[in-house]
Each structure stands twice: as structure tokens, then as C-alpha cells.
Structure 1
């Protein structure tokens, strides 16, 4: 594979290529101040709106200065960094202020972080002045050098911490505990970590010419992964198409994140091969073919991810997490579609040029979308609660399978209002909603609930509240009802309501407290029986000197009284 690596003098970067001796010292001061502020605010005012907002401001303003500060135009960098810190402070303030009123506020803050990561290289390449005339080569250069600089500064910070930890252990041998005492104070750890990160970043930002050359070497090495990854993706897409998409139907829990991760891998590797201009692009025919396959594969992968998520939504309805996943899928699909357009416009000769321009347009658009979604203008909890209520009203989900827990704990204030409306009604749904509404803590339902078949559980009693308790318990512990079981009411014993879960091979005694939570005893094995199918009529309670469970006339387990 023959490819030219440009010398550092050809790399863009404005004055960033110039050595600024004051930079490491200034960055250490800025980083130390920001680290001290964040440390003190999170330890002294953790959870408070003002404390979180000021900490976010200090962190992101310092980060913006670290990557954008230029000696020839300091005012622009300071204004941008203060603006970035103010935006992130506002997002943090609203996230803390919302508390549990809004669902998924952590995703909103993550969108703000994503906005910051895109805004910094766009500002560095003067996108705010040149807009769509911004050279892609400069934006590409800043994205990669920022990543390398941040990774190097983080490594320097960790190595500094390891070194000072080693010195502390050394000094302890002679009775000096000063370093350990400093780290136990409320201010030194944040100051030290921030200052070392800033100093490392300052040194590296003075060496952007060398980093630019190193970045090209790294991309050359990474491009070696493009060929095997493209071959694997091509095999996967062909097999999935010929299988009729059965994998999406049979693995909806994991298909979406895996498909999106593969699409991101295609995006990274195709841009590693394409580089920032045609002169830097690999001339190897196999490498160019791999880049074409990777670019073409992003769109079908994101479409498959959308189909997988659609299946999941069709089965379980909307939730805040699924709505955020739809946002990620929409952005990834936009990239995949834009790459197809680029290949159609440029054909084999000029598709890479159109792909680079698409990257710039999509980065600016994604930055704006992330900024809009970072603020709580859209209540995904309200949208999800409305969808779930509609599914319940239309009979798309039974009362037994409806996730009242999610309304109470996952959908924010809108979900709790919806739960209250259900509880104000009549019937089994109202009773189950009222029970969940009255709880002080969430029932520990795990992902095993998703694989539980409600038809495997038969209930031999009519108490609606107890039926709800048993359904929730078995959904969280499906192994206690495998492959099928019958629940029978054993009555009250002290402050516990006892229920037996009887299958063909075992029986479980479950004692429910007044809040619906259960004490879990160890499983009691039973003699093997030839039949695995079981119905309510097969289960009986016989009196002898105590009480014992019988299935088809045979005792199951030991007497429980």
C-alpha cells in the first residue's frame, strides 16, 4: 500500500502550529482553577442547582479555552468559551431543577456534551465566519488533533497521579505523610488533577505540527482495519437480507445498539481511508473498494436498526430511552443517506469529495439538533406516557402485562399523572395502579421480565391485588415459573400473605409483605414427573396431618405446615 504522509508544515492549524511558551503555564492555571471549582462544588453542593451549574460552567469554559485559545485572537476564544460554559451551565441547572419531574434528563445533558464536542472544532476552523465555505481539511485536522491532544493530556494526568502516589508511599517510609494529607483535604485533589491535565494539554497544543503528522500515521494504521471490517459487514448484510431479517425479530433486545455501533465503526473507518483531501487518500484499489463498501453499508445498517427499534416499540410501546434511541438512529440514518447521495453524485472518481462536504454539513446540523434536544423543551416522558395509555385503552397490551412500574418511576411527572388517572378508575388496572402509586420504593424488576411469557402463569384465586403481586414477582423471577406454573393462595400467616408457585418439577413458597415485595426462600425440589404441562385443575391441597401440595395426585416438595 503506497501512500504519502504530508509533512507537518502542510497541515492546517493557524497559529496553533506556533510555539507559545506561556501556554503550558496558563493552561495549568486555568485547569487547576477549574478542577478546584468542580471538586469543591461537587463535594460541598452536590445536587444543588447553583452548584451543578457553576461546576459545569467552570469545566466547559476551561475546556473551551484549552482547545481554542489563540494568542493572536484571544477575545474570540474567550467569548466562545464563556458562551459554551454558560450553555452547559444552563443545561446542568435545568437538569437538576427538573429532578424527577422530567424523564431522561441525563440524556439531555449527554446531548449537551455532544454539542460541545462538535462546536469546538467548528469554532476552531472559523465556521462561524466562513460557514459553508469552511475548508473541510481544517475541520478534519482539528477533530483529530483535539482527540489526540485530549488523550495525551489525560494520560499525562494519570501518570502524574501515579507518580505522586508512588512518592507518597516512598515518603511514608521515612515518616513523611504530607502528600497523603494534602490529598485528603477538600481542595488539593481537584487542583492537582486539573493543573496536570492543563499543563499536559498546553504542551501538546504547542506541538500541533508534530501531532498533525502523528495523526496521519495513526490514521494510516487504522485504515488497515477497513478491509476486514468491510468484508465482515458485507457478509452480514447479505446474510441478513437473504434470511428475511429473522435476526431482527429474534434479537430485538440487542440488535439496535449493535447495529448502531457497527454503523459508527463504518463511519470512522471510511473517513480514516478518505482523509481530508484526495492527495492524502490511499491509492490502493482494495482500500478504496473497502471504503466504498463501508460508506454504502451505513445506510442499510441504520435502516436495520430502525426496523429493530420499530419491532421493540411495537411490542412494548414508547419510553424515554427508546425516543432518545430514535434520535440517534435518525442522525445515523441521515449520515448513511448523505453518503449514498455523495456516491451517486461523485461516482467512482469524485464521491470522496462529496462525502467530505456532507460530513461538514451533517456536523453543523447535528450540533444544532443536539443543542435543541439538550434543553428540556420536549418532554419525552409525556410523549411516552400518552403512548402507553393509548396502548392500554386500545387493548394492545393486557392489564397483566402493562408496566405500571415504568409510569411510576421512569416517565417523570407525566407518568405519575397518568398512573393517577388509571388509579382513579375501576377494575384490576385501577387496583394495580393504586398499589404501585402507594409504594415508597420500586419493585426490583429486571430485564428478565422481558422474556417472561405471561401465558405460563395460571392464577387459581381472584384477589386482584394479590394477582398483581404474583404477576410482578414472577415477571422479575421467571425461573420460578419454568416452563409453566400455577399460583395458589395459601392465606395469611402473621404479617405475610403466602402463595405457592407450583410447576411440574418444583414448588416455591413466596411470602408477600404489605407493600407487595416478597421474601424469597430457597427452591424446594420435587420428585420428577413424566408430564411438563400443568393446569389449575391438576393442582390440589390435601389435608393429612399438615398441608402439602399435590400435582396429579403426587406430593410436590415437603409439607409446608
Structure 2
């Protein structure tokens, strides 16, 4: 147990404080009621969102850090965290659509809060780099277990409440149903039950420490098969030259980062907070070593995958945030490789623990900086996209002017206005995009598919086509006919025939489309593309016919 095997000397958080459950229940209930009422009445205004966020995060932090010995210091920390998160919420709501990626900035603030709480509990503000890793490790895991237990208690409390409501309704008493429907009761009930559960659990950190060991033991068992799977994946990926990965750049980056995170969690479940608590099982230790070494190659492949995506489509605020995540994950991977090299087989876990503490502090600071309006990812993306257009790296008709209008904030709209002031096709398309009142005109995003005729009877393939048109509305700007061309290699092959061109699309087995091929210019200019007018004829190859006339280039 962490409290026995490590020198967790922040005893103020370990005291059995009888008042704690009652105090936290009161704080939670009041905070839940106030937040509910604020969000219901004024949640869309900047000050309403800021006040609700400040109260929520201050109350939530109090459940973890409030203690009888240093209650003033803990209260100041909770209030400070609430002010910071309230300010971030105010910036997110007040900016409206003028700033791109504001939801990611708020998420960065939440990440900052999750790291700041255990660092404060471990007295990092006093001990700084002399903070024992065991203390931080103990608080991270005990906080996670406590929060999970409290959330489970909230769910059970709701189930019990609904059961009592059903029970009393059998005899004609509806007061519980009336209470549930009372405005603000939901927030109050959640706050009270969560706070009370947190108070009880925080008073039993000895038991939580035992439960923490059980959780880490379970994770340790998962480390072995996961390590084998990751090693096999890396072997196959390297042996095939990464071809399978490059064909799936849409989903590769988040999957690889998720696997890197899994390697981090499972490796630390085996390593634990010191060598005495570390698992004695040799197989688990080597699994942890393999997982630690796998983080860097996974993040490198994620970076390459994202690089391919950026090379194809340029920067966007979402991709810049992904690059930040990749950079942090790569920093952990590099630090782990350095630790493995310095510690070798005998002392590598010691260097991993030191890296965890140092990188946690660095990540906390970076998350706070990114949550503040210091870097404008929309402006960076807009400048890079315009530079690609000016350099001829993307064709004018393929450039996403609508993204500048809708996705990059004020910086994108300013860039669009400058483009509209020029001459030629670029200015024409930029002016049209600047006048758009919706992300895509209704004729470009017909979610009812009234203008899309699907000429085959395959429900799964039809759903893939529908998802494709929803994601790429320009595939059917006005109306089109979709034909099933069968299997092409190991891909399902369909074609979108519109009044302007033919667009071929292939889908993988999981429905993910390959990068779209260049449209084929139509041969006749005055044909009517409509259901019943499109057919496939045998030829020396295969091509489309509309109203009996050849349409487009042969595709086989």
C-alpha cells in the first residue's frame, strides 16, 4: 500500500475528519444547486458560464484537498482554481466564433486542473523538485479511485431514488416525483451525494490505498497481453514499411496516441511508486519495460501520420491541438528511453518515476498556457492555408474556402476578405464563401438525401455513402446518382455521378473512405443525371452512359 511502502508525509490529507462528509455534502449540494440555476437561466452568457465554472471547479477541488490542518491554504487553492477555470470559461463563451478551437482550450484547462490537484496535495508548491514521487503517485491514484467511487455512489443514489418513487407511487404518493421535478433538485442531489461519498472515502484513505493496490494489480495483469500486442503491431508495421498505416491517416493518429497512453498507464501500474511496491513478477517487469519503450515509436508513427494529413490538407486548429498532444506524448517517450538507457535493467524504473514527476509539472504549465488566449491556432492555420494556395500546392477549385469562413475564427475570415479583394477565380470563390450564411449551403449538405439517388440495394454500403456525403457534401452539390461498381481489390467501389463530373470513391472493410480521387470531367455537357437515366454497359472496358450517351471516361 502506498501509505506503508512510501513516505507519504502529507498527513493532513490522511486524517479521519468526522466533519468532512457533512461539510463536503453541504458544499456539493449548494454548488450543484447554484450551478444548475445559473446554467438554466444565464448559462449562455460569458459571466454566467464563468460563474458556473468557477463554482463547479472550486467545489470539486474541495472534495480532494480540503483538510482540517491546512483548511485556509486548501480553501485558497480551491478558490484560485475556480477563478482560473471561471476565467477560461468566460474567454471561451465571450469569444463566440471569433476564436477557433475554444473547446480545446477549455479542455486544456480541465487537464491543468487534473494535474494541479495532486501536485498541490503533494505539497509541490513548497517542496518543488524535492517532492517525493511516492506522494504524487499516491494522490493521483487515490484521487482517481475516490472520484470513481463517488460517481458510482451518485448513480446508485439515483437508482434508489427512482425505485422509491416507483414504490410510493403504488400507494398514490407522488411527493418524490414532485421533488425530482423541482427546479434545481437534480444539481443539488448530485452535489450532496457526490460530496458525501467523497467525504466518507477521503476519511478511509487506508482502505482506498488497499483498493488502489488491487486496481494496479489488475492493470498489471493487463500489461502483459497489451505489451505483446503492441510489440506485434510495431513489428508488422515496420516490416510492411507502414503501408497499412498510411492508408488510414484519418484514424491512425488518435488510435496510436490512445495506445501510447495505454502503455503509459499499464507500465506505471507495474512500476508503482517505488521499488519495494513494484511487482516482483519478472514477466510483468519485462512487460512494463516493453510498454515503456513502445511509447516513443507509437508517438513517432502518430507524428508521421499527422504529418501526412497536414501535407495533404494543410493545418487546422484541430490538427495543431493534435500536434501538441503528439509533442507531449513524444516527450514522455523520449524521457522513458533516456531512463531505460541510464538505468538499464536494474534501475530503469527509478528514472521513469523521476520523468513522470518532471513531465507532469511541465504538462501542467503547458496546459495552462494553452488554455489562455496566447496562441491563435486559427490565425496560424489560416496563414499556412493561404500560403499553400498562393504557392500552388492546392488547386483553386479544391481549396476549402468555407473552412476560412467557419473554422479558423476571425483570422480565417480576415484572410478570406483579403483573398476576395484580389482578382480571378480565387477572389470569386473567396467572395462566395464570405457570403455563406451556413457552413455548407443546404444544397451541399442535404441530410435527407432527397437529391441523392442510390442505385443499389446494400444497406451497409448505403450507410457508408450517406456518411461520406455528410462529411464531404461537395460530392453531391445539387443532385447526383450513386452507383455500386463492386469490389476493387479489397475495397468497395462506388461512383458519384453529378451534372458536372464523376467522382470515384473506395471504402475499406470498416467503412472508412480512401482519399478521394480527382473527379473525371464529363464528356457530354447537356445530359440529365437522374435515376433511371444511368446505366453501366459492357464495352472494351466499362464506362457510364446517361440517356444512352457515353458519360465520363472509362473507369476500367
| TM-score bracket for this pair, using the shorter chain length | 0.7 to 0.9
| Contact 2:104/2:321, CA 8 A, preserved across alignment | yes
Give the structure 2 partner of residue 124 of structure 1: 121
Give the structure 2 partner of residue 483 of structure 1: 495
Alpha-carbon separation, structure 1, partners of 2:424 and 2:475: 21
| Contact 1:47/1:96, CA 8 A, preserved across alignment | yes
Which of the residues 71, 76, 99 maps onto 2:73? Answer: 76
Alpha-carbon separation, structure 2, partners of 1:358 and 1:9: 20
Give the structure 2 partner of residue 462 of structure 1: none
Alpha-carbon separation, structure 2, partners of 1:47 and 1:203: 35
Give the structure 2 partner of residue 149 of structure 1: 146
| Contact 2:536/2:542, CA 8 A, preserved across alignment | no
Q: Residues 400-479 of structure 1: matches in 2 within 5 Å? A: 400-443=397-440, 472-474=474-476
Pair 289,528 (structure 1): closer, same or farther in 2 beyond 3 Å: same
> Secondary structure at 2:482's aligned position in 1?
helix
Q: CA deviation at 1:88?
A: 0.3
Alpha-carbon separation, structure 2, partners of 1:435 and 1:123: 53
Which of the residues 218, 223, 235 maps onto 2:220? Answer: 223
Give the structure 1 partner of residue 455 of structure 2: none
Deviations 1:191-225 (A, max 9, x none): 11111110111111100010001100111121011
Give the structure 1 partner of residue 42 of structure 2: 45
| Contact 2:29/2:189, CA 8 A, preserved across alignment | yes
Give the structure 2 partner of residue 551 of structure 1: 549
Alpha-carbon separation, structure 1, partners of 2:316 and 2:2: 49
| Contact 2:222/2:266, CA 8 A, preserved across alignment | yes
Alpha-carbon separation, structure 2, partners of 1:19 and 1:82: 24
Q: CA deviation at 1:365?
A: 0.3
Give the structure 1 partner of residue 381 of structure 2: 384
Give the structure 2 partner of residue 273 of structure 1: 270
Deviations 1:493-527 (A, max 9, x none): xxxxxxxx9989xx9968xxxxxxxxxx8x44644
| Contact 2:2/2:134, CA 8 A, preserved across alignment | no
Alpha-carbon separation, structure 1, partners of 2:6 and 2:352: 22
Alpha-carbon separation, structure 1, partners of 2:105 and 2:324: 12
Question: Which of structures 1 and 2 has the bigger CA Rg?
Answer: 1
Alpha-carbon separation, structure 2, partners of 1:476 and 1:348: 64
Alpha-carbon separation, structure 1, partners of 2:92 and 2:144: 27
Pair 473,239 (structure 1): closer, same or farther in 2 beyond 3 Å: closer
Q: CA deviation at 1:345?
A: 1.0
| Contact 1:38/1:58, CA 8 A, preserved across alignment | yes
Deviations 1:383-403 (A, max 9, x none): 101111011111101112111
| Contact 1:230/1:291, CA 8 A, preserved across alignment | yes
Alpha-carbon separation, structure 1, partners of 2:384 and 2:98: 18
**Corresponding residue pairs, total:** 493
Give the structure 1 partner of residue 456 of structure 2: none
Alpha-carbon separation, structure 1, partners of 2:24 and 2:322: 37
Deviations 1:218-270 (A, max 9, x none): 11121011111111111111111121121232111011011000000000000
Q: Residues 88-103 of structure 1: matches in 2 within 5 Å? A: 88-103=85-100
Which of the residues 160, 163, 181 maps onto 1:163? Answer: 160
Pair 37,11 (structure 1): closer, same or farther in 2 beyond 3 Å: farther
Alpha-carbon separation, structure 1, partners of 2:238 and 2:396: 37
The answer to whether the aligner puts 1:332 opposite 2:329 as a matched pair is yes
Deviations 1:324-343 (A, max 9, x none): 00000000000000000111
Pair 245,182 (structure 1): closer, same or farther in 2 beyond 3 Å: same
Give the structure 2 partner of residue 528 of structure 1: 536
| Contact 2:475/2:496, CA 8 A, preserved across alignment | no
Deviations 1:458-502 (A, max 9, x none): xxxxxxxxxxxx99243799973743746359xxxxxxxxxxx99
Alpha-carbon separation, structure 2, partners of 1:64 and 1:442: 39
Show structure 1 runs of 5+ residues with no match. 449-469, 490-500, 511-520, 540-548, 554-561
Alpha-carbon separation, structure 2, partners of 1:96 and 1:258: 30
| Contact 2:339/2:349, CA 8 A, preserved across alignment | yes
Alpha-carbon separation, structure 2, partners of 1:261 and 1:63: 27
The answer to whether the aligner puts 1:213 opposite 2:210 as a matched pair is yes
The answer to whether the aligner puts 1:61 opposite 2:63 as a matched pair is no
> Secondary structure at 1:102's aligned position in 2?
coil
> Secondary structure at 1:483's aligned position in 2?
strand
The answer to whether the aligner puts 1:300 opposite 2:297 as a matched pair is yes
Give the structure 2 partner of residue 291 of structure 1: 288
| Contact 1:52/1:96, CA 8 A, preserved across alignment | yes
Q: Residues 509-528 of structure 1: matches in 2 within 5 Å? A: 523-524=531-532, 526-528=534-536
Give the structure 2 partner of residue 346 of structure 1: 343
| Contact 2:481/2:496, CA 8 A, preserved across alignment | no
Alpha-carbon separation, structure 2, partners of 1:488 and 1:301: 43
TM-score, length-scaled by structure 1: 0.83
The answer to whether the aligner puts 1:260 opposite 2:247 as a matched pair is no
Show structure 2 runs of 5+ residues with no match. 448-471, 484-493, 502-519, 552-556
Deviations 1:539-560 (A, max 9, x none): 7xxxxxxxxx33249xxxxxxx
Pair 300,157 (structure 1): closer, same or farther in 2 beyond 3 Å: same
Give the structure 1 partner of residue 236 of structure 2: 239
Q: CA deviation at 1:171?
A: 2.0
Q: Residues 195-210 of structure 1: matches in 2 within 5 Å? A: 195-210=192-207
TM-score, length-scaled by structure 2: 0.84
Alpha-carbon separation, structure 2, partners of 1:29 and 1:375: 32
| Contact 2:142/2:209, CA 8 A, preserved across alignment | yes
| Contact 2:396/2:425, CA 8 A, preserved across alignment | yes
